[in-house]
């Protein structure tokens, strides 16, 4: 398949490498390909410059977000920073029309100025906005009514999303939510090809609220286990 990955961050790179390894034609989207390729320093998360990643993964094409979306034959993965995703995706709405958009972004606001901050080993925990009475997944679906948005992958690090068997032999649970059952099946099929066997359909896109709010629990578990520890969650039933 021709699959677009919108984003050049650490999570997006996990999908790009995995999809290429599975034999898909991968089209990567960034704001400005020239500027992205000109970067020589790691980003704030310590992720190395994208050109280093491309050198290790020949055959992957870097485009603007819109060009990458247009090159996909049906499936697009959204890895644009959550705070900026609605604006960036709205700008290319026409190129996403009719396609499935698997969205794993978290609507984090970093360095929040709030009364009761949550100190963590890595600084003040980001806050979620929207939260509770709305979600980024719903905002994206409202902004792109002709696109089939599926919230997925968001409850884990993308390194283990693309390699579920690396923890617990793969005995953990992945979630999908969205309005279109065919699109959810498309994303579930992708997850199966990644190695997932337990994919739980949470229903409509409103369930993105719970999936995104789990980010705080994911963070708390990560702080407890220590940096670099990989883990998943299992819905026992």
Ligand X SMILES: NC(=O)c1ccc[n+]([C@@H]2O[C@H](COP(=O)([O-])OP(=O)(O)OC[C@H]3O[C@@H](n4cnc5c(N)ncnc54)[C@H](OP(=O)(O)O)[C@@H]3O)[C@@H](O)[C@H]2O)c1
Chain residues in the site for ligand X (CB under 6 A):
7-12, 30-31, 36, 45, 79-82, 84, 88, 104-106, 108, 154, 157-158
Question: Which residue's CB is nearer to ligand X, number 94 or number 181?
Answer: 94
Q: How far is the CB of 147 from ligand X (least distance, A)?
A: 17
Question: Which residue's CB is nearer to ligand X, number 9 or number 210?
Answer: 9
Question: Which residue's CB is nearer to ligand X, number 51 or number 181?
Answer: 51
CA distance 156 to 77: 15
CA distance 90 to 94: 9
Q: Using CB positions, name the residue nearest to ligand X.
A: 9
Alpha helix locations (H) across the chain? 10-21, 33-38, 50-56, 65-71, 82-90, 93-96, 136-143, 158-161, 181-194, 208-225
Q: How far is the CB of 142 from ligand X (least distance, A)?
A: 18
Question: Which residue's CB is nearer to ligand X, number 53 or number 188?
Answer: 53
Question: Which residue's CB is nearer to ligand X, number 165 or number 218?
Answer: 218
Tell which residue, 209, 211, 102, 206, has the closest CA to residue 149: 102
Q: How far is the CB of 154 from ligand X (least distance, A)?
A: 5
Q: How far is the CB of 77 from ligand X (least distance, A)?
A: 9
Residues with Cβ within 8 Å of residue 203, at least 6 apart in sequence: 177
Q: How far is the CB of 99 from ligand X (least distance, A)?
A: 18
Q: What DSSP assignment string belongs to 60-89? A: -EEEEHHHHHHH-SSEEEE-S-HHHHHHHH
């Amino acid at each position: 398949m021709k699959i677009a990955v919108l984003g050049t961050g650490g999570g997006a790179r996990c999908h790009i490498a995995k999809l290429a390894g599975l034999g898909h034609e991968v089209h990567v989207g960034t704001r400005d390909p020239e500027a992205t390729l000109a970067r020589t320093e790691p980003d704030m998360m310590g992720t190395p410059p994208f050109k280093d990643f491309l050198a290790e993964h020949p055959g992957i094409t870097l485009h603007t977000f819109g060009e990458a979306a247009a090159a996909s034959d049906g499936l697009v993965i959204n890895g644009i920073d959550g705070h900026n995703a609605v604006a960036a995706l709205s700008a290319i709405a026409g190129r996403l029309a009719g396609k499935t958009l698997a969205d794993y972004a978290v609507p984090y606001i970093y360095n929040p100025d709030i009364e009761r901050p949550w100190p963590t080993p890595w600084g003040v925990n980001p806050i979620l906005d929207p939260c509770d009475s709305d979600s980024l997944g719903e905002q994206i679906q409202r902004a792109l009514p002709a696109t089939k948005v599926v919230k997925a992958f968001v409850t884990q690090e993308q390194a283990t999303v693309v390699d579920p068997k690396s923890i617990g032999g793969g005995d953990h649970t992945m979630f999908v939510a969205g309005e279109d059952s065919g699109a959810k099946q498309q994303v579930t099929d992708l997850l199966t090809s990644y190695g997932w066997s337990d994919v739980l359909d949470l229903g409509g896109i409103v369930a993105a609220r719970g999936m995104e709010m789990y980010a705080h629990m994911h963070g708390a578990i990560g702080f407890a286990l220590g940096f670099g520890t990989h883990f998943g969650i299992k819905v026992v039933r």
